Amino acid sequence: MSLPYVTTFVDDFFRCAGLFPNEPALVFPDQTTTYAELLALVQGIRDSIDSEVPINERRIAVYATQDAYTYATILAILASGRAYVPLNPHNPAQRNGSCLTQADVSTLFQSGAETEISQWVLAQRLPIKILNLRNISSSPSERVPTPVRETDMAYLLFTSGSTGNPKGVPIYHGNLRRFMKAFLSEMGFEFRPTDRFLQMFDLTFDLSIMSFAAPLALGAACHVVTGSGVGFLDVVKTLQRGKISVALMVPSVLSFLERYLDEIDLPDMRYSLFCGEALPALLAEKWHRCIPSARLFNVYGPTEATIFCSVYELKSPLGSSGEYQGVVSIGVPMPGTVFSLISEKGDCVAPGEKGELVISGGQVTDQYWRNPEKTLAAFSVRSGEAPAYRTGDIAFESEGNYYYCGRVDYQLKVDGYRIEAGEVEHHARSLAGVRNVALVGQAETNGKVILHLFLEASDIDQESLRMACKTHLAGELPSYMLPHQIHVLDSFPLNQNGKIDRKALISSVHQG
C-alpha cells in the first residue's frame, strides 16, 4: 500500500502567493521580491527543470548564493517533487565538488555565467549539466506543486564538519512537515502574516530552512542578511532596518552584540530564538533585559533531527532551574519528539544522571547518505518505530527540562582523569569581562593532552585577565582540571555557521 500525499510548506507558499500577491516575500538590502514575483520566478525555473531534467533525477544541486533566484530555485525544485542539495559558494571548489559527487546529482543550478564550481566540474569532466538560473522563461506556466509523500526527500545537506568529517544528511518531507507543524501550530507561537523574519544563515545550514520556510508558509516577510560569511554588523543592520519581529540566531551574535546591547533598540522584536551551540546564561539574560518586547527561547537540535527539536523559554530572572554551569537549559522536546539518555554501554541512565542524548520521533531522519557504516553507528531504525539518533551530546534531565553538558568528543582525558570541558568553562565564564569561553584539548605526539583555555574578552588588560583566571580556577577546581595554557582573544574565530571554530582556535595558538 503506498503512503498518502502530504502538504508541505511549498503548498502553503503557493496559497499565500494567491492571498498576498503584493506583500513582500523576500527582502534584501537593495531589493524586495513580492509573493507574486517570487511565484513567477518559481514557475519559470520549474519550467526549465521540467524541460532539462529527466523525471527520474530526484536530486538537484544549487550553488546557493543569497538572491531571489536561488530561493526561487529551491522552491521550484521542491515544487517539482525533487530534493535540493545546496552548495556553499564560500567553500573551496574541491569541497563543493566532493558534495556534488557524493550527492550523485546530474544537474546543478547556479546564479551567474561562470562560477568556481562550474570550472571545477568542467576540469574534472564530470557528467553534470550546469544551468544558469537567470535564463528562465518570462511567460511561465501556472501549476500547483507536484504531490509528494512523507518518504520523499526534501533536501540533502552536508554537515559543516565542526565535530568530524562532513556527512550527507537526507531530510524527508515527513521530517520537515513534523517540524513545521510543531513549530507553527503546536507550540503556542503566535506568528502572523505581518511578521518579519530574519534569515542570517547560509543555505547549506539547516537553520536557514526555518528562517525562510516559516515566513513563506505564513505569508510573512523573510529579510535576508547578505554579505560574505557571517557578518554580524550586517545582522544588526537587518534587525534594525527590517524592524525584525522573529529572529533565529546563533549565540555568537549575542557575544558580538553584548557591548552594544544597552544602546540597541529593537521595539518590534517579538520572538528571539537562539540555536546552534551552548547559550551563555548571562548574555541571554542581558538580551532579555535590553529587548523587553521579545520572548526569548533557547532551541536545540542537530541537522539529523530537522532544524531543532527542543525548546526552552527563558524567563527573567533565569533562576537555577533555567541553567546549568552558566549555560541555558535546552528545555523540553517538541511535540512528536522523544529524548532519552544512555550510558556508554547503551543502557538507560538513572534519573538525573548524565548520558548521551538520543532523539527519536517524526523529525529524525534514518541515515547518513550512502554511508552504512556511519548510519549503523548513529541510527537505530526498527520496523514500525520512528528512527532514533545518537547525538554525541551529553545531557541530563531534571523536572522535564534537559540540560546540555557538552559533546562526547569534547570530553578530555588528562593523565587518566576525565575532564568535562563544561565545568572548567563554567568557572572561567564567571570572570568579569569574559563574553565566551572554550576549553580545547590538544594531543601531543607523546600522547599527553594539553588543555588550552580560550577566553573571549575585549577592552581589557589581557595579562591581568589571564592571571585572574588562573587564580580563580585554582581556587575552584582540582589541579588535574586546570588548563595548561590560557589565551585571551578579542573575538573567537567562527565557522560559516557562526559557531565557535575549535580547530581554528588551536591553530591560532601555533600561529601566535
Ligand X SMILES: Nc1ncnc2c1ncn2[C@@H]1O[C@H](COP(=O)(O)OP(=O)(O)OP(=O)(O)O)[C@@H](O)[C@H]1O
User: Could you tell me how many residues of this chain bind ligand X (CB under 6 A)?
Assistant: 22
Q: Choose, by CB under 6 A, the member of 197, 404, 454, 492 that binds ligand X.
A: 404
Binding of ligand X by 160 (CB under 6 A): yes
Q: Choose, by CB under 6 A, the member of 38, 108, 266, 275 that binds ligand X.
A: 275
Q: Choose, by CB under 6 A, the member of 302, 326, 355, 361 that binds ligand X.
A: 302
Q: Choose, by CB under 6 A, the member of 106, 162, 380, 401 that binds ligand X.
A: 162
Nearer to ligand X, 248 or 434 (CB): 248
Binding of ligand X by 371 (CB under 6 A): no
Binding of ligand X by 202 (CB under 6 A): no
Residue 79 neighbours by CB under 8 Å, 6+ apart? 10, 14, 42, 46, 143, 145, 146
Are 287 and 254 within 8 A, CB to CB?
yes
Please name the residue ranges forming H helices in 20-140: 35-52, 68-79, 93-103, 116-124
Tally of CB atoms within 10 A around 21: 15
Are 154 and 174 within 8 A, CB to CB?
no
Q: What sign results for the dihedral spanned by CA atoms 418, 425, 451, 440?
A: positive
Binding of ligand X by 287 (CB under 6 A): no
Nearer to ligand X, 242 or 251 (CB): 251
Binding of ligand X by 436 (CB under 6 A): no
Nearer to ligand X, 238 or 391 (CB): 391
Backbone angles phi, psi at 71, to 5 degrees: -60, -40
Print the binding letters for residues 464-503 with ligand X: x by CB under 6 A, - otherwise: -----------------------------------x----
Residue 217 has which C-alpha cell? 508558509
Instruction: Choose among 194, 209, 243, 193: nearest CA to 223.
Output: 243
Binding of ligand X by 504 (CB under 6 A): no
Binding of ligand X by 454 (CB under 6 A): no
Residue 396 CB, shortest distance to ligand X, in Å, is: 13
Binding of ligand X by 363 (CB under 6 A): no
Residue 86 CB, shortest distance to ligand X, in Å, is: 14
Binding of ligand X by 456 (CB under 6 A): no
Q: Choose, by CB under 6 A, the member of 303, 329, 337, 363 that binds ligand X.
A: 303
Nearer to ligand X, 82 or 407 (CB): 407
Binding of ligand X by 396 (CB under 6 A): no
Residue 207 CB, shortest distance to ligand X, in Å, is: 8
Nearer to ligand X, 12 or 277 (CB): 277
Rule CB under 6 A: which of 313-332 touch ligand X? Answer: 330
Residue 84 pairs in a beta bridge with: 60, 155
Binding of ligand X by 191 (CB under 6 A): no
Print the binding letters for residues 203-232 with ligand X: x by CB under 6 A, - otherwise: ------------------------------
Are 326 and 426 within 8 A, CB to CB?
yes
Nearer to ligand X, 221 or 424 (CB): 424
- Number of helical H runs and strand E runs in the chain: 14, 29
SS (H, E, C) 374-443: HHHHHEECCCCCCCEEEEEEEEEEECCEEEEEEEHHHCEEECCEEECHHHHHHHHHCCCCCCEEEEEEEE
Nearer to ligand X, 330 or 421 (CB): 330
Nearer to ligand X, 299 or 455 (CB): 299
Binding of ligand X by 333 (CB under 6 A): no
Q: Cis bond leading into 193, ω under 30°?
A: no
Residue 302 CB, shortest distance to ligand X, in Å, is: 4
Instruction: Choose among 291, 314, 289, 309: nearest CA to 299.
Output: 309
Are 247 and 274 within 8 A, CB to CB?
no
Q: Choose, by CB under 6 A, the member of 195, 277, 397, 501 that binds ligand X.
A: 277
Orientation of helix 35-52 relative to helix 68-79, angle to 10°: 60
Binding of ligand X by 422 (CB under 6 A): no
Nearer to ligand X, 160 or 365 (CB): 160
Binding of ligand X by 276 (CB under 6 A): yes
Task: Give the span between the Cα atoms of 196 and 356, in whole angstroms.
Answer: 37
Nearer to ligand X, 9 or 368 (CB): 368
Nearer to ligand X, 197 or 297 (CB): 297
Instruction: Choose among 344, 254, 356, 347: nearest CA to 302.
Output: 356
Q: Choose, by CB under 6 A, the member of 300, 368, 369, 403 that binds ligand X.
A: 300
Are 175 and 362 within 8 A, CB to CB?
yes
Residue 296 CB, shortest distance to ligand X, in Å, is: 12
Q: Is 398 left (phi over 0), alpha (psi -120 to 50) or beta?
A: beta
Residue 99 CB, shortest distance to ligand X, in Å, is: 13
Binding of ligand X by 402 (CB under 6 A): no
Q: Choose, by CB under 6 A, the member of 164, 229, 317, 346 that binds ligand X.
A: 164
Backbone angles phi, psi at 176, to 5 degrees: -65, -40
On the CB side of 291, how many CA atoms lie within 13 Å of its CA?
Answer: 32
State the residues that interact with ligand X by CB under 6 A.
159-164, 275-279, 298-300, 302-303, 330, 391, 393, 404, 407, 499
